[in-house]
Amino acid sequence: MSSKIKLLMIASSGIIASVCTYATYQYWKKRRQSTPEDEGFEEVSKVDDIFQRKILILGLDNSGKSTLIKQISSGNTSLSHNLKPTEGFNITILQKGEYTLNIFELGGQENVRRFWNTYFEDTDLLVFVVDSADPSKLPVAAMELKNLLGDQRLSTVPILVIANKQDVPGALSAEEVGVALDLSSISSRQHRIKLIATQAPSNLHHLHVSVVEAEQAMYALSQV
């Protein structure tokens, strides 16, 4: 490939990343200014910044990120049927007492992962979701997690690792997922890290207790 074409590709990647970041910012700002009538959210524009938390939810595609967020934000499992794959990003705003949790879910497909780093600034908590029932993807997930932790902007951010799909027969336990992701090497760094097992199938009537635990862990770790 000629160097001109390479330069052109690098330049266009940069432009796409900038456009994504700007679009996210505008969208988030609009959400922050929206009224409860508009969006069904509490008005948060007047909330002091010290009560705002930014949570990044990352992980490979199909690990269950959207499902978990949908269940946590709606409090039930019925709305998590037939979710479409997240192509860019989703923003969910949750009010927890005096805290506003701004939850950014970024798409996990390979071509989107290289743009994850445009969202790292000001992150209070990184949630990394893994499909425990698909061991073939764990090496790639491990590599992506290592890349994330190598970024200076995430160097002191607490990490919640979620070993999802525990209901699927043959799924690896949370401990096995922890070994596959080499979490023991991470905890020796300055990160606070917590690993929990969840199951969020949409055929349940109520949230599984593990999803409630995930929500509580998200809340607790984002307050650090």
Task: State the nearest-atom distance from the C-beta of 143 to Mg ion, in Å.
Answer: 20
Task: State the nearest-atom distance from the C-beta of 105 to Mg ion, in Å.
Answer: 6
From Mg ion, ligand GDP, none, interface partner of 201 (C-beta below 5 to 8 A by class): ligand GDP
| Residue set of the binding site for Mg(2+) | 66, 86
Number of amino acids touching ligand GDP (CB under 6 A): 20
Residue of 55, 58, 64, 119 interacting with ligand GDP (CB under 6 A): 64
Pick 125 or 207: Cβ nearer ligand GDP: 207
- Show contacts with ligand GDP in window 184-203 (CB under 6 A): 199-202
Task: State the nearest-atom distance from the C-beta of 146 to ligand GDP, in Å.
Answer: 19
Pick 35 or 109: Cβ nearer Mg ion: 109
Among all residues, which ones are annotated catalytic? 109
Pick 108 or 158: Cβ nearer ligand GDP: 108
Q: Are the C-beta atoms of 58 and 128 separated by less than 8 Å?
A: yes
Q: Does 66 interact with Mg ion (rule: CB under 5 A)?
A: yes
Pick 89 or 219: Cβ nearer ligand GDP: 89
Residue of 124, 134, 167, 213 interacting with ligand GDP (CB under 6 A): 167
Task: State the nearest-atom distance from the C-beta of 22 to Mg ion, in Å.
Answer: 22
DSSP letters of the chain? --HHHHHHHHHHHHHHHHHHHHHHHHHHHHHHH--HHHHSS---TTS-GGGEEEEEEE-STTSSHHHHHHHHHHSSSGGGTTPPPPSSEEEEEEEETTEEEEEEEE--SHHHHTTGGGG-TT-SEEEEEEETT-GGGHHHHHHHHHHHHTSGGGTT--EEEEEE-TTSTTPPPHHHHHHHTTHHHHHTSS--EEEEE----TT-SS--HHHHHHHHHHHHHHT-
- Please give the residue whose beta carbon sits closest to ligand GDP in the complex: 64
Sign of CA dihedral 42, 46, 52, 57: positive
Angle at CA of residue 121, ends 103 and 214, nearest 5°: 30
Binding site for Mg ion (CB under 5 A): 65-66, 86
Binding site for ligand GDP (CB under 6 A): 59, 61-67, 83, 85-86, 108, 164-165, 167-168, 199-202
